[in-house]
């Protein structure tokens, strides 16, 4: 992070803030993650259901999506696949942020197109670090 503005380097070098969708049926967690990322210089939005996140993604065009796996209505792996079908270029970086651990869930997230599988709870600094690592390794 840059010291002067306390903004992640990728966000400060980009002509627009990095856009992040935070999707979790746990409203408190989604809202807290949104607040944390906005304070770090990202443009983050919280959604509590996969369907509304998918609808918003068409206009919002997120660079990064933090997605819980087990949500009512639309599971996180289904949401991930649908987000990739939108054809956004470059496609959003998908990061699973879930309570589900274990090899089976990692297979599911990998198959759905997630680049990372983080198990809750995740320290705020660790989450920002993962996002920064993924942004630096992508074409965003």
- Domain for residue 126, yes or no? yes
pLDDT, position 16:
80
**What percentage of the chain reaches a pLDDT higher than 90?**
85
CATH number at residue 100: 3.40.50.2300
**Cross-strand bridge partners of residue 23:** 47, 67
C-alpha–C-alpha distance, residues 127 and 47, integer Å: 18
Per-residue pLDDT of 116-128, as tens digits, reads 999 999 999 999 9
pLDDT, position 5:
39
Range of the domain at 42: 25-62+80-137
Provide the pLDDT confidence category of residue 2 given band limits of 50, 70 and 90.
very low
C-alpha–C-alpha distance, residues 52 and 4, integer Å: 36
Per-residue pLDDT of 47-90, as tens digits, reads 999 999 999 999 999 999 999 999 999 999 999 999 999 999 99
- Domain for residue 101, yes or no? yes
- Domain for residue 115, yes or no? yes
Where do runs of H (alpha helix) occur along 18-102?
27-39, 50-60, 76-85
- Domain for residue 20, yes or no? no
- Domain for residue 52, yes or no? yes
Query: Domain tally for the chain?
Result: 1
- Domain for residue 73, yes or no? no
- Domain for residue 75, yes or no? no
pTM of the model: 0.88
- Domain for residue 47, yes or no? yes
């Amino acid at each position: 992070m840059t010291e002067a503005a306390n903004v992640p380097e990728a966000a400060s070098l980009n002509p627009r803030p990095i856009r992040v969708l935070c999707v979790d049926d746990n409203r408190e967690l989604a809202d807290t993650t949104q607040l944390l990322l906005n304070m770090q210089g990202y443009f983050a939005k919280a959604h509590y259901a996969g369907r509304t996140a998918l609808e918003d993604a068409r206009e919002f065009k997120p660079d990064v999506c933090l997605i819980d796996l087990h949500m009512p209505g639309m599971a996180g792996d289904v949401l991930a696949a649908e987000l990739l079908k939108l054809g956004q270029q470059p496609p959003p970086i998908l990061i699973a942020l879930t309570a589900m651990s274990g090899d089976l869930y990692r297979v599911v997230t990998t198959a759905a197109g997630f680049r990372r599988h983080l198990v809750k709870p995740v320290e705020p600094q660790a989450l920002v670090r993962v996002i920064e690592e993924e942004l630096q390794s992508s074409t965003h």
